[in-house]
Chain A
Amino acid sequence: MSDLRELYQEVILDHGKNPRNFGPLPEANREAHGHNPLCGDKIALHVVLDGDLVQDVKFEGAGCAISMASASLMTTILKGKTEAEARALFEQFHDLLTSNEEASLDQLEALDKLAVFSGVRDYPLRVKCATLGWHTLNAALDETGETVVTE
């Protein structure tokens, strides 16, 4: 039960249940869709990109607590970041979820509130849930126009 609580931390449960920045964003100039066929998670991501700067970001969709909470926390942390910063953050986040080593304090600090997802590392099957929102963000920034499918 203790490591279950590490996975399902209060912050994750809260964001899973009451996702922030949830809804349409008519002014968005970047959009992408993400889909995790294994558990049926689906999200649509709307981004207002002003030059290099993420001005606003919202998402819609349905899925497991991990995918919803991750997308929600992502939206809260992205505003005001540059495109490059956003991509770099995803890389660090991805490392947190997949690296064999415990994250250092510096790394955790850089990840700020995203660090609550560190427990996902012990559940490799759930990594794609935690990264669905971020993969979709990359697609929105790349303007691929394709639905991202995490397998």
Chain B
Amino acid sequence: MSSAASINTPSFDIEAIRKDFPILAETMPGGKKLTFLDSAASAQKPQAVIDAMANVYGHEYANIHRGVYYLSQIATDHFEAARRKVQGFLGAAHDREIIFTRNATEAINLVAASWGRANLKEGDQVILSEMEHHANIVPWQLLREQTGIELVVAPIDDDGALIWEEFENCFTDRTKLVAMTHVSNALGTVTPIADIIRTAHDHGTLVLVDGSQAVPHIDVDVVALDADFYVFTGHKLYGPSGIGVLYGKEALLEAMPPYQGGGEMIATVTFEKTTYAELPHKFEAGTPNIVGAIGLGAAIDYLATIDRAAADAHEQALLAYTNEQLAGLNSVRIYGTAPQKVGLVSFAIDGAHPHDVGTILDHEGIAVRAGHHCAQPVMDRFGVPATTRASFGLHSDYDDVDTLVSGIKLVQEIFG
């Protein structure tokens, strides 16, 4: 079976969705059609997002929260409307709990620098998992250098799933925070985040969730989850790069000192004393990524037009199909076989280095990620320097997978 037609349903029209992404019509050098299988690195943008951003720049742009004139007012309105869209998207109780950042990395650094330095002292412990992205490792290591905290790593099993008993054993009376991914970017594993949060709270411990890879695939409700902090990055959610989100519970954010100082985040400034702006502006020093936030809002609007349950069913069917096809090829090994996964397959081909695999697939118009995926501890865990990773977006279809499989056969032919 290799046709996309078989998965069309009234509620989820893959052909229509593909047409929403103009880049899919591009031809790659050598005349190959683009097979884009790197959405986990950064998603392609639907026309609706591109149009919304062009429209602001073309017709509605000015700096926000400053001018008293018309354009500044509507730009401000659109920017704040984007914040409310994010609030709705995450199910947050208040829009002031939504802080715009540059990306997920900055959101985590914000929490580590502001909440971490104010609340953690030498000997306090932060639990991470073995499958964190470097963005959820290095900020805590920097904090460790500054405060003497300890990092405790919860291990994963051979399938790439969190080992629950070991996770529970990580807690001590010095545990202050669990900083954990919702979905692993290297393995695709979905972590049992609701259980993780409940368990952490039972131990009186706060939880920061790295939702960068989760929000494109899974409906999130931060209130139902009772997450203390939840971060994600806009460019993986079909929005532009340069915009990210920190959700934090209001009481936590209120108590935290500012992260950066400057304009936008102040109430009054004299050389003797400065008072800070209210949430969320306290954490948004300087002119923000105005159009980026509006683009992210447009991406959230776009996602709302898609039946996510049907999209999820399609993605899981495509994942199962990919696993089946790769299993049919000799000497292809999949890393990350946890029962709960998003549409992402990390693999290795015997005798071919991922970098060579990437070059050969590129030659066939196939865009995949080859490397350590900014998760070197995961690579070490599985004893490989790197893997090749194919990851799906909303627009991924059976043809994409079939093209990938032919590409892998070509690799095997060359390196056979």
Contact = CB atoms under 8 A, between A and B. Distances in A.
Interface of A: 1, 3-5, 7-8, 13, 17, 38-42, 62-66, 123, 125-126, 129
B353 A38 contact: no
B359 A123 contact: yes
A66 B354 CA distance: 12
A125 B356 CA distance: 11
Contacts of A5: 414
Given A4-B414, A17-B351, A64-B353, A39 B371 contact: yes
23 contacts: A4-B363, A5-B414, A7-B359, A8-B414, A8-B415, A38-B355, A38-B371, A39-B371, A39-B386, A40-B371, A40-B372, A40-B379, A40-B385, A41-B355, A62-B385, A63-B385, A64-B353, A64-B356, A65-B353, A65-B415, A66-B356, A123-B359, A126-B359
Contacts of B352: 65
Contacts of B353: 39, 63-65
B311 interface: no
Interface string B336-374: 000000000000000111111001100100000011100
A104 B381 CA distance: 48
Closest 4 CB pairs between A and B? A40-B385, A39-B355, A64-B353, A64-B355
A13 B372 contact: no
Given A4-B363, A64-B353, A66-B355, 20 more contacts: A1-B363, A1-B410, A3-B363, A4-B360, A4-B414, A8-B414, A13-B415, A39-B353, A39-B354, A39-B371, A40-B371, A40-B372, A40-B379, A40-B385, A40-B386, A62-B385, A64-B354, A64-B356, A65-B352, A125-B359
A13 to B, nearest CB: 7
Contacts of A38: 355, 371
Interface string B384-416: 011000000000000000000000001000110
Contacts of A1: 363, 410
Given A1-B410, A17-B351, A40-B386, A65 B371 contact: no
A64 B385 CA distance: 10
Contacts of A125: 359
B171 to A, nearest CB: 34
Contacts of B415: 8, 13, 65
A5 B410 CA distance: 11
A62 B353 CA distance: 9
A39 B370 contact: yes
Instruction: Name which of B351, B356, B363 has the most chain A CB atoms within 10 A of its CB.
Output: B356
A37 to B, nearest CB: 8
Contacts of A62: 385
A13 B414 contact: yes
Contacts of A8: 356, 360, 414-415
